[in-house]
Protein backbone atom coordinates (compact mmCIF):
# COMPACT_ATOMS: atom_id res chain seq x y z
CA UNK A 1 0.00 0.00 0.00
CA UNK A 2 1.36 3.40 -0.95
CA UNK A 3 1.09 6.67 0.95
CA UNK A 4 -1.06 9.29 -0.74
CA UNK A 5 0.53 12.67 -1.40
CA UNK A 6 -1.63 15.56 -2.59
CA UNK A 7 -0.56 17.13 -5.87
CA UNK A 8 -1.19 20.77 -6.83
CA UNK A 9 -3.80 19.65 -9.39
CA UNK A 10 -5.77 17.65 -6.76
CA UNK A 11 -6.26 20.62 -4.43
CA UNK A 12 -9.58 22.45 -4.65
CA UNK A 13 -9.57 25.66 -2.60
CA UNK A 14 -12.77 27.12 -1.17
CA UNK A 15 -13.36 30.54 0.35
CA UNK A 16 -14.82 30.53 3.84
CA UNK A 17 -16.16 33.46 5.84
CA UNK A 18 -16.11 33.39 9.65
CA UNK A 19 -17.83 35.84 11.99
CA UNK A 20 -15.54 36.40 15.00
CA UNK A 21 -18.13 38.16 17.15
CA UNK A 22 -18.01 36.88 20.79
CA UNK A 23 -15.71 33.93 20.01
CA UNK A 24 -12.62 33.48 22.26
CA UNK A 25 -9.36 34.41 20.52
CA UNK A 26 -7.59 31.06 20.98
CA UNK A 27 -10.55 28.93 19.93
CA UNK A 28 -11.01 30.99 16.78
CA UNK A 29 -7.29 30.97 15.95
CA UNK A 30 -6.90 27.19 16.33
CA UNK A 31 -9.87 26.50 14.04
CA UNK A 32 -8.67 29.00 11.43
CA UNK A 33 -5.12 27.60 11.52
CA UNK A 34 -6.51 24.10 10.98
CA UNK A 35 -8.54 25.29 7.97
CA UNK A 36 -5.55 27.17 6.49
CA UNK A 37 -3.40 24.04 6.78
CA UNK A 38 -6.09 21.84 5.22
CA UNK A 39 -6.44 19.48 8.17
CA UNK A 40 -10.22 19.38 7.69
CA UNK A 41 -9.80 17.74 4.25
CA UNK A 42 -9.28 14.09 3.42
CA UNK A 43 -6.32 14.90 1.14
CA UNK A 44 -4.29 16.57 3.93
CA UNK A 45 -0.56 16.26 3.36
CA UNK A 46 1.77 17.85 5.96
CA UNK A 47 4.31 19.25 3.49
CA UNK A 48 1.79 20.61 0.95
CA UNK A 49 -0.50 23.63 1.30
CA UNK A 50 -3.95 22.01 0.94
CA UNK A 51 -5.96 24.59 2.91
CA UNK A 52 -8.75 26.98 2.05
CA UNK A 53 -8.83 30.78 2.03
CA UNK A 54 -10.43 32.32 5.12
CA UNK A 55 -12.10 35.71 5.58
CA UNK A 56 -12.70 36.84 9.16
CA UNK A 57 -15.16 39.65 9.84
CA UNK A 58 -15.96 41.51 13.08
CA UNK A 59 -12.42 41.04 14.36
CA UNK A 60 -12.80 44.03 16.68
CA UNK A 61 -15.47 42.16 18.66
CA UNK A 62 -13.46 39.00 19.37
CA UNK A 63 -13.66 37.92 23.01
CA UNK A 64 -10.79 37.83 25.50
CA UNK A 65 -11.52 35.66 28.53
CA UNK A 66 -10.46 36.40 32.10
CA UNK A 67 -8.25 39.45 32.73
CA UNK A 68 -6.42 39.16 29.41
CA UNK A 69 -7.79 42.47 28.14
CA UNK A 70 -5.57 44.38 30.60
CA UNK A 71 -2.74 41.89 31.31
CA UNK A 72 -1.89 40.24 27.96
CA UNK A 73 1.04 41.95 26.24
CA UNK A 74 2.48 41.59 22.77
CA UNK A 75 6.22 42.13 22.34
CA UNK A 76 8.28 42.98 19.27
CA UNK A 77 11.85 44.07 18.71
CA UNK A 78 13.01 46.90 16.47
CA UNK A 79 16.40 45.31 15.83
CA UNK A 80 18.33 48.01 17.69
CA UNK A 81 19.88 47.54 21.15
CA UNK A 82 17.23 48.02 23.81
CA UNK A 83 14.54 48.17 21.15
CA UNK A 84 11.88 45.94 22.67
CA UNK A 85 8.37 47.39 22.29
CA UNK A 86 5.33 46.14 24.21
CA UNK A 87 1.60 46.79 23.76
CA UNK A 88 -1.38 45.45 25.71
CA UNK A 89 -4.34 43.69 24.17
CA UNK A 90 -6.59 46.58 25.17
CA UNK A 91 -4.40 49.14 23.33
CA UNK A 92 -3.97 46.84 20.29
CA UNK A 93 -7.75 46.45 20.02
CA UNK A 94 -8.11 50.25 19.82
CA UNK A 95 -5.43 50.76 17.16
CA UNK A 96 -5.28 47.58 15.02
CA UNK A 97 -7.97 45.03 16.06
CA UNK A 98 -7.23 42.70 13.12
CA UNK A 99 -3.66 42.09 14.37
CA UNK A 100 -4.97 40.29 17.46
CA UNK A 101 -6.28 37.41 15.35
CA UNK A 102 -3.45 37.64 12.81
CA UNK A 103 -0.77 37.13 15.48
CA UNK A 104 -2.68 34.29 17.15
CA UNK A 105 -3.19 32.39 13.87
CA UNK A 106 0.35 33.03 12.60
CA UNK A 107 1.86 31.50 15.73
CA UNK A 108 -0.25 28.35 15.25
CA UNK A 109 0.92 27.76 11.67
CA UNK A 110 4.16 25.97 10.71
CA UNK A 111 7.27 28.10 10.75
CA UNK A 112 9.11 28.69 7.47
CA UNK A 113 8.12 29.19 3.83
CA UNK A 114 5.11 26.84 3.98
CA UNK A 115 3.61 28.63 6.97
CA UNK A 116 4.11 32.03 5.36
CA UNK A 117 2.34 30.79 2.22
CA UNK A 118 -0.58 29.56 4.33
CA UNK A 119 -0.81 32.86 6.22
CA UNK A 120 -1.29 34.76 2.95
CA UNK A 121 -4.69 33.07 2.51
CA UNK A 122 -6.08 34.84 5.59
CA UNK A 123 -7.99 38.15 5.33
CA UNK A 124 -9.15 39.89 8.50
CA UNK A 125 -11.52 42.85 8.75
CA UNK A 126 -12.46 44.77 11.90
CA UNK A 127 -16.04 45.42 10.73
CA UNK A 128 -18.67 43.36 8.97
CA UNK A 129 -17.85 44.58 5.43
CA UNK A 130 -15.35 42.86 3.12
CA UNK A 131 -14.43 43.22 -0.58
CA UNK A 132 -14.44 39.49 -1.44
CA UNK A 133 -18.01 39.01 -2.72
CA UNK A 134 -16.68 37.95 -6.15
CA UNK A 135 -15.10 34.83 -4.59
CA UNK A 136 -18.54 33.73 -3.29
CA UNK A 137 -17.37 32.76 0.21
CA UNK A 138 -19.34 30.15 2.13
CA UNK A 139 -20.48 30.85 5.69
CA UNK A 140 -18.53 28.73 8.16
CA UNK A 141 -19.52 28.06 11.77
CA UNK A 142 -16.71 27.50 14.29
CA UNK A 143 -17.15 24.04 15.79
CA UNK A 144 -13.62 23.11 16.85
Q: What is the CATH classification number for the domain harbouring 129?
A: 3.90.1180.10
- 68-118 confidence digits (pLDDT tens): 999 999 999 999 999 999 999 999 999 999 999 999 999 999 999 999 999
Which residues partner with 76 through β-bridges? 85
Q: Is residue 73 part of a domain?
A: no
Domain that holds residue 34: 12-65+98-139
Q: Contact, 57 vs 17, CB < 8 A?
A: yes
Within a domain: 4: no
**Assigned domain for 109 exists:** yes
In a domain, 83, yes or no: no
Q: How many domains does the chain have?
A: 1
Mean pLDDT of the chain: 95
Order of all β-strands in the sheet with 15-19: 122-124, 53-57, 15-19, 138-139
C-alpha 114: how far from chain center: 14
* Residue 46 lies inside a defined structural domain of this protein: yes
Torsion angles phi and psi, residue 38, rounded to 5: 95, 15
In a domain, 75, yes or no: no
Binning pLDDT at 50, 70 and 90, where does residue 142 land?
A: confident
Burial 60-73 (b: 16+ CB within 10 A, else e): bbbebeeebeeebe
In a domain, 144, yes or no: no
Answer whether 144's CB lies under 8 Å from 31's CB.
yes
pLDDT class of 136 with cuts at 50, 70, 90: very high
pTM above 0.75, yes or no: yes
Is residue 24 domain-resident? yes
Amino acid sequence: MRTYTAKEDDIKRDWLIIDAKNIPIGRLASCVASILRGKNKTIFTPHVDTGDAVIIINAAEVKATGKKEMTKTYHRHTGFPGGIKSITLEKLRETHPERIIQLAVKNMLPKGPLGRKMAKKLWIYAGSEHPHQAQQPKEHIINC
